[in-house]
Structure formats: C-alpha cells, structure tokens
Amino acid sequence: MSLFITDECINCDVCEPECPNSAITQGEEIYEIDPALCTECVGHFDTPQCVEVCPVDCIPKDPDHEETQQQLQAKYEMLMAAGK
C-alpha cells in the first residue's frame, strides 16, 4: 500500500523533505502523497520516514492503493531506473 495524509495534517512541513521518492507535495489545504511515487520507503529505509517524523500521526496506509512488499520493491526499482 502507499500511504496517505489525513485531514488531521497540521502542515508542519516535516514529512516532505524526508520522502526519498519526492512523493509528498503541498496540496491546496494539506500535504498529499502521490501513490504512484510512494513505496513506503521500501528500497530506502526499513520504515516510512514520513510516518516516523509526523508529530500528529496522520499518515496511515491507503486502503485504496493496496500493494504487496514485492510490488513496492518493483515500484522502487522502476523509480530508480527512471532517475526519480
């Protein structure tokens, strides 16, 4: 699964620079995660870095974008091959 940011986000700006895939961007009201770029940090770290730094615990798994560890790894490899 990719992750997503709930409306509990306080726009504290700590998650965006932690994302190794640049999947997090400032949306109209809160930060947003692009599911096409989110690998839950698979290939980079053992745990999602945005979740680690979020002070309000507003970054759960996205049930609309379920992915296995193998799918996340394949997405990571594709992103790295594309130079993302």
Which domain, by its residues, includes 52? 16-81
User: Does any domain span residue 25?
Assistant: yes
Into how many domains does the chain fold? 1
Q: Read off the amino acid at residue 30.
A: I
| Position 26 in a domain | yes
Residue 51 inside a domain? The answer is: yes
The verdict on residue 66 lying in a domain is: yes
In the prediction, which pLDDT does 26 show?
96
Output the domain CATH number for residue 53: 3.30.70.20
Contact 6, 62 (CB under 8 A): no
Each residue's pLDDT expressed in tens, for the chain with a length of 84 residues: 799 999 999 999 999 999 999 999 999 999 999 999 999 999 999 999 999 999 999 999 999 999 999 999 999 999 999 986
pTM of the model: 0.91
Is 7 within a domain?
A: no
Task: Report yes or no on 2 lying in a domain.
Answer: no
